[in-house]
Structure formats: structure tokens, C-alpha cells
Structure 1
Amino acid sequence: MVGAERGAGRAPGRGPAPAWPGLLAVGAATAVALGVHAVVPALGAATTGVVLGAAAANLGLLRERLRPGAAVASHRLLRAAVVLLGFQLAVPQLAALGFGGLAVVVVTVAVTFTGTLLLGRALGVRPVRALLVATGFSICGASAVAAVKEVTDADEDDTAVAVALVTLCGTLAILVLPALRGPLGLDPVAFGHWVGASVQDVGQTVATAERVPGALTWAVVVKLSRVLLLAPLVAGVALAGWHRGTGGAGTGGAGTGRRPPPVPLFVVGFLAAVAAGSTGWLPAVALDAARTAQEVLLVAALVGLGTGIHLPTLRRTGGRAVLLGVGAWALVAGVSWAGVRLLGA
């Protein structure tokens, strides 16, 4: 499992093992995931990437010399994908939502995040694991999980569980939410708002909204407005004391001797990308290139994160976490639907 042993793939008396073999393997798996999505659009590249990474780890295909590269993919490439995600969000887009749309987004994120933490406590889920699940479901799936992990004491098992849950539920949403549109009385615009406010990953949001003509534009705008809340959430988590080596919130970093920066550098990069994309100065071709690069890097990062999904560990510890994930999914879907109906967003 990536990160399970510091020094894995390192020979006595030598420096760290090179990352390039693992990165080549991750690149190959990324190409397969993108190819599968091109042939079978219903199978998201992100989901396929996680599955391929998990399969490699659990079938004994992840050799020691591949682990350093997988670790680089799951950390550095994912940070780069988060930064590039900022180019997809232009602040003027938020004006199109109006007060009602913005209120739905803020309330949904706040209630889902807080409610999932409380549910995790009631279920006896490890606090930092519940934090990652809460972040993934309330903001933007695996990207948010990875961003918050950087300012907590979460380990690879915590991350793997959270990523697996948001990936599974987000994939199921592609099938479930369009089937519920009629019974819930949502026209295409309202459905787009609901999808954007409730589905985890940006790619999953697009795949879900595309199934209902007229919903996609609104779904993307609402979804990206949720993504904008990633930066303040990460900063808040860092300031609240969820630091490495603490085992939970409120301990102030005891035992570590240092305090991580309130806003990680990649989050600053994300905000800078949002600002740059909002100026209107960047040509469409540059924005399209950034979007493509972000999608590829995210899939590669999810392949790396998938290698941290250790099925025996999930069987031992994942039962209550699965209940937490289902509860978080029901919470984000229920609150956002109620908001769309009540506020007419």
C-alpha cells in the first residue's frame, strides 16, 4: 500500500528509489482508464482509474519499485490537478446563480459537512476519517479529500476509504439521480442545480447532468461554486488543529513541534488559477488545455490513490465508514433537493 512503509523500495545505504517506473505504470493505467471512458462513456475515467489502482495493489501487481511513483501520483499530481481545477471557475459565473442558488450551495456544504462529522461520531468512525468523508461529500470528491489530507494526521487507510466512498456514491449518482427527477418534480434547470449541489466529483456531475437535456450548464456552474469553497474549508481545517500526529481536532499540533501553514501552497495556486480564469484575458484554447490537463492528472492521481485501497483493511474497518458514506450521500442529496425546491434555485 502506498505510504504504508516509509522507505519502501529503498536499498540499504542508497538513496530513495526512483519514481519514474511507478509513474510510467500510472501513466499506462491512466491511458487505459481514459480509453475505457472513450469507448464506454458510462464508465467514468476517474472511477476506472481508482479501480485499476486498487486492482494492482490487491492482486500483487504493485511491485516495490513502483510504489514511489504511485506515491508521487497520489500526492503531487493530485495537488497539480486541484490547482488546474481553478481555471474552470470564473467568479462572474456566480452572479448567474443569484442569491437562491448561492444559498443552496452554502447551506448544502455546511449542513453536509457538519452532519457527516456528527454522524461519524455517532457511528464511532475515526474522527479524521469522518473528516475526509465529510469533505469529499460536501465539496468535490477525491480532490477535496486529498486537499484536506495534507493538513491533517490522516493515514493512507483513511484516504483510501474516503476516496472509495465518494467514488462509489458519485458513480451511482449517474444512474440514480436522473431516475429520481420525475418523481421529485424537477424541471431540467432545477435538476441541474440539484446535480451540481449534490454530486461529488466534477466529472460525475457532468456525466449525471448530461442525461437530462438542458441541465448541464446549470449543474457545472453550481458544482464549480461548491469547488470554490474548498480553499476556505482547507484553511479552516488547518486552523482548527487537525494536524499531522495529533490524532484529531483541537490538539494544536502537540507532539509535532511544527504547525502546517494555514493555507497550503497548492490551495493558493488554486485561488490564483480562479483569479486568472476570472479576468477573461486567457484565450479559450488555454482554458481548454488546462481543463484537459486537469482531467488527465486527476485520473493519474486517482490511480495512485487506488493503490492505497487495501481490501482486507476495508473489510476490517470499513463497515461503519460505509454507513457513514451512505448517510453523507443521503444528506447532501436531501438537503440540496430541499433547497432547490424551497428557494426555487
Structure 2
Amino acid sequence: MQSVNTRFSSIEKNIFSTYIPGIILTALIALLAHFLGQAFPILGGAVIAILLGVIIKQTVGVPSLFSKGISFTLKKLLKAAIVLLGFGYSFTEIYSLGLNALIIVLIAVFIGIFLTYFLGRLFKLEGNIPLLISLGTGICGATAIATSGPIIKAKEEEIVYAVNTIFAFNVLAVLVYPLIGHLLSMTDHAFGVWAGIAIHDTSSVVAAGYNYSTAAGDTSVVIKLIRTLMLVPTAVILSVMISMKTKASAGGSDKVKISKVFPYFILVFAGAAALNTIVPLPDAAVEVTSTVAKYIILMVMASVGLGTDIGKIKSVGLRPLIVGLLSSILMGAVTFLLVGLFF
């Protein structure tokens, strides 16, 4: 019995020393960002959380003690926040987005992938880098790059290269998109759709959406989740293409497993929305889940800032950054026109 207790005590200590310091750091930054966001609403808490994280990273640095907790916040707590937001939705609201939203997402994914790939080749980016950047631009940022990298047999340095290229413009989008939306007097619904299909990474989409308004944030989450689902057929297509290429040259290739690339947290989000559809939750309960989710999103933005290494972004070089900038601008412009056309 004492051995079991000792083992559990050891596990608890390990969890605390591994994850808790980083989580606490992001929570403290989020708290400060929340109050500063109220004082400076033109920036908003999400942008301030990123800026505080970047300042800490570039000045005093982030000791390795905090690394795993910061990573956990970015990768796991973001999904938890999205699930919590699901309790504020009903299938009626999701359905109200209509077929137009799905059509725009499909067009945007197609344009994002092929346009960025063309630019990558035009600027003579080598190896798998053009394809990785195009997948990150078209689907869901770093997640798409990390998922598709092993499928296309990309080198580790190519994956890191592509992620850093995409990452630079994710951070910028959180600040720029809401400003453009307000300047153009976009409706909450239109902005939410635009942010959901134009901004690369899920964390940046959620932050930009809720930085604009609660209604815009709610719309952007649903649109982004639809877009994220495109990762599954894309992974299958890539796997088939690589398999055919490999068989033609060497004979044999690993097949992608749907279970490994499917974003299961979307099913949990749908379950939360289904519960609220069948048994509408009290307004007070929805308010609590929404408040907690939005605070976690600030923590996620803090982790984005703490993970921003300007030195690594500079090391990517000028050409990939130009490709990333051009594709981001073109993606934003094309999707803006699509939103105006369909909505």
C-alpha cells in the first residue's frame, strides 16, 4: 500500500513539476492581459496577451521549466476552450450558417493550397517546403503542417521551417484582421466567417473572432472547425499520391490512418452543442462556460507569445516570408470577396 502511495505521490510531483509552472505562467499573463484589454479595448486582451508573451520571451527569456506547460496550454487547453464554447451553441445556430459557408470553406481551402504552392515554386523554395506552407495556409496552420509532414516524408527541418513561416503571420492576423473589420464596418457574422476561412491557425482565428465581438467569435469557431475537418480528406489524398509515387519507384508505402489525423475534439464540441440543443442549458451555466473558455483563450494567446522566437523566424529567410506574406494577403482578399458574394 505504501508502495502504491509512493508511486502516486511521485506521479503527482512529476505532473506538477512538468506542466503546472507553464500553465500558471500563462494564466498570470492572461489575467494581466484581461485587465489591460479592458483599459485598451482597441488592442483587446488577446493581442496584449501575445505581446506580453513576446516581450517576456525576447527580454528575460523562458526557462525550460515552463516549456511543457506552455506547450500543453497551446495544444490541449485550446481544444478544451473550444469544447466549452460548444455549450453555448445549438445545432439550429450552426445549421443557420447554411450551405454557403461550406462552399466558401471548400473554395478557400482549394485556393489557399494551390495558390501558395504556386508562389512557393515561383520563389524557388526547395523540397517539401512549398507544399507544407500551402497546407498550413489552406487548412489549419501548424496542425496541418505537423500532420502532413510525416505523410509526405518531409524532413524535420522542413517542417520547422514551414511552421515558423506560418507562425509569423498567425500572430499578425490577430491584430490586423479586427482592425480591418472595424474599418470596413463588417457585420459580426461576416467578420466571423471571414476570420474563420482566412486566418491560418485555430488559436489565431478564435482570438481574432472574439477580439472583434462575441457573435463574430462564435461564428469564426464553427467555420474554422469545418475547415479543420478538411485535414482528413487532404491527408488521405496525400497518402494515396505518395503511395502511388513510392510504388512506382520502390514498391510499398505506409498508409495514413484516419484515426491518427481526425480532430476528435470537434466531435466533443458537437456533443456539447447537441446537449444544448436537446436540453437548453441555463443562461448562467452558458455564461460560466463561455467566460472560462475566453479566459483559456487568453492563456493560449500568452503561450503563442511565449513561443514566438523572432530569431527563428528571421532564420527562415526572406523568400519563405515573402511567400507567406503574399499568400496571406491574397487569401484574405479572395475570401473577403467570397464573403461579400455569398453573405
State if a TM-score over 0.5 links the two structures: yes
CA distance in 1, matches of 2:327, 2:232: 22
Give the aligned partner of residue 6 of structure 1: none
CA distance in 2, matches of 1:121, 1:276: 47
Displacement after TM superposition at 1:288 (Å): 2.2
Displacement after TM superposition at 1:310 (Å): 1.3
Against the structure 1 CA distance between its residues 266 and 316, is the aligned structure 2 distance closer, same or farther, given a 3 Å change threshold?
same
Give the aligned partner of residue 204 of structure 1: 208
Displacement after TM superposition at 1:229 (Å): 0.6
CA distance in 1, matches of 2:14, 2:220: 43
Once the two structures are overlaid, the 10-residue window that deviates more, 155-164 or 167-176, is 155-164
CA distance in 2, matches of 1:256, 1:62: 39
One-letter identity of the residue aligned with 1:319: L
1:91 aligns with 2:87: no
2:236 to 232, 239, 242: 239
CA distance in 2, matches of 1:198, 1:106: 13
CA contact (8 A) 2:22 2:65 kept: yes
Against the structure 1 CA distance between its residues 31 and 233, is the aligned structure 2 distance closer, same or farther, given a 3 Å change threshold?
same
Which structure 1 segments of 5+ residues have no match?
1-13, 136-143, 182-187, 211-215
CA contact (8 A) 1:194 1:336 kept: no
Against the structure 1 CA distance between its residues 262 and 21, is the aligned structure 2 distance closer, same or farther, given a 3 Å change threshold?
closer
1:226 aligns with 2:219: no
CA contact (8 A) 1:105 1:225 kept: no
Give the aligned partner of residue 185 of structure 1: none
1:253-283 deviation per Cα after TM superposition (whole angstroms, max 9, x unaligned): 9799988624144333233234334435222
1:304 aligns with 2:303: yes
Against the structure 1 CA distance between its residues 44 and 29, is the aligned structure 2 distance closer, same or farther, given a 3 Å change threshold?
same
Q: CA RMSD in A?
A: 3.8
1:284-303 deviation per Cα after TM superposition (whole angstroms, max 9, x unaligned): 22222222222121221232
Against the structure 1 CA distance between its residues 274 and 171, is the aligned structure 2 distance closer, same or farther, given a 3 Å change threshold?
same
CA distance in 1, matches of 2:120, 2:276: 37
Q: Secondary structure at the match of 2:43?
A: coil
1:124-180 deviation per Cα after TM superposition (whole angstroms, max 9, x unaligned): 245334422333xxxxxxxx4365466344766654543431231231122233334
Larger Rg: 2
1:166 to 167, 170, 173: 170
Q: Which structure: greater helix fraction?
A: 2
Aligned length: 302
Against the structure 1 CA distance between its residues 15 and 168, is the aligned structure 2 distance closer, same or farther, given a 3 Å change threshold?
same
1:61 aligns with 2:58: no
- Percent identity of equivalent pairs: 20
Pairs within 5 Å for 1:67-146: 67-100=67-100, 103-123=103-123, 124=125, 125=129, 127-135=131-139, 144-145=140-141
CA distance in 2, matches of 1:38, 1:152: 39
1:215-240 deviation per Cα after TM superposition (whole angstroms, max 9, x unaligned): x85x4565344134145223234434
1:286-338 deviation per Cα after TM superposition (whole angstroms, max 9, x unaligned): 22222222212122123223222211111121533433343333333332333
Against the structure 1 CA distance between its residues 38 and 180, is the aligned structure 2 distance closer, same or farther, given a 3 Å change threshold?
closer
Once the two structures are overlaid, the 10-residue window that deviates more, 254-263 or 158-167, is 254-263
One-letter identity of the residue aligned with 1:179: L
